Structure 1
Amino acid sequence: MKTLMLMSAMLLTACAHSPLPLTAESSGWEAFGKQQALDGQLKISQQSLEKRADVSVWNPDLYSAYSVGYEMGKQEYCSQSAYILGVKQERYLGICDDINIFFQQDYVSGRHSTASM
């Protein structure tokens, strides 16, 4: 059941496309990547970004910029309290699991707590 719920959330996330930068400037792609992570989104693959990006601005260096920004945002996102994230009943897609093996567990504990924010 848990796996089914996570897969459903991932599918919904994949369908809810955020607008991509319309520039070939790496700073725009870095900012986009950082915001994706700060929003708790899963990292978009290079292949998916290539398909979604405006072909007149896309180049492989932009994925590197996106990745740098994503990792910065991920570090910030994963430094928050997973327990409080769960208490707030916010969505968590597992982006911190490789950084903190207890993040998911703490998040679930928060979701099941009786505390309210």
Structure 2
Amino acid sequence: MKWKTLLFGLVLVGCSSQITATLSDDVASWQRYGEQRASDGHIVQSEQKLVMHSLSGVVTAEQYLAYLDGYQVGKEKYCAQSASMLGRIGKPYRGICDDINPFFRSDYNNARREW
């Protein structure tokens, strides 16, 4: 019986980790969110897509600009890493560095093929 309780608890924890984070209305949280998304290699989101992450259901121009500022910081960090290493460890590449470094994708793909 105890193992059923443990299994049920693990299922609940697993489901809860898939819930999308909701952002408060302060500009700093939007900036951190943008930086985190880019640091994880995600492509930039539109204002319309970001509405679902807002507590108020609205994204102001100031919040979106903060998101874009943070995204740029995270993108620079992400694109400064070794594309070959990213490919070797099997992390996905979604193309966010193509405009900064035209060789990033090819270096990544070559490393993926090697490993």
Q: TM-score range by the shorter chain?
A: 0.7 to 0.9
3-state DSSP of counterpart to 2:80: coil
Greater CA deviation, 35-44 or 53-62? 53-62
User: Mind listing any 5+ residue stretches in structure 2 that lack a counterpart?
Assistant: 1-17
Q: How does 1:91-106 map to 2 (within 5 A)?
A: 91-106=92-107
Quote the Cα distance in structure 2 between the aligned partners of 1:17 and 1:78. 28
CA contact (8 A) 1:20 1:32 kept: no
Identity over aligned pairs, percent: 38
Does 1:36 find its partner at 2:37?
yes
Q: Provide Cα deviations, 1:49-107, integer angstroms capped at 9, x if missing partner.
A: 13442226642210000000000000000000001100111100000001000000000
Runs of 4+ in structure 1 over 4 Å off: none
Give the match for residue 84 of structure 2: 83
TM-score for both structures, normalised by structure 1: 0.76
Quote the Cα distance in structure 1 between the aligned partners of 2:88 and 2:53. 35
Q: How does 1:1-117 map to 2 (within 5 A)?
A: 18-21=20-23, 23-55=24-56, 58-114=59-115
Quote the Cα distance in structure 2 between the aligned partners of 1:76 and 1:97. 14
Coordinate RMSD, CA, aligned: 1.9
TM-score for both structures, normalised by structure 2: 0.77
Give the match for residue 10 of structure 1: none
